[in-house]
Amino acid sequence: MPGSSLTLALVQQSDQGSPGANLDDCEAAIRAASIRGANLVLLQELHNGPYFCQIEDPDHFDMAEPIPGPTTERLSALARELELVIVGSLFERRAAGLYHNTAVIVDADGSLAGIYRKMHVPDNPGYCEKYYFTPGDLDFNPVDTSAGRLGVLVCWDQWFPEAARSMALAGAQILLYPTAIGWSPSDSPEEQERQLDAWMTIQRGHAIANGLALAACNRVGVEQDPSGNTAGLRFWGNSFVCGPQGEILAQADDQSPKLLVTEIDLERTERVRRVWPFLRDRRIDAYDDLNLRYRD
Would you please indicate which residues are annotated as catalytic (active-site) residues?
Answer: 45, 118, 155
Q: How many CB atoms lie within 10 A of CB 225?
A: 14
CA-derived radius of gyration, the chain? 18
201, 23 Cβ separation under 8 angstroms: no
Instruction: For residue 208, give Cα distances in angstroms to 58, 165, 247, 268, 294.
Output: 41, 11, 9, 12, 26
Q: Is the bond leading into 19 cis (omega within 30 degrees of zero)?
A: no
Q: CB under 8 Å to 288, separation ≥6 — which residues?
A: none
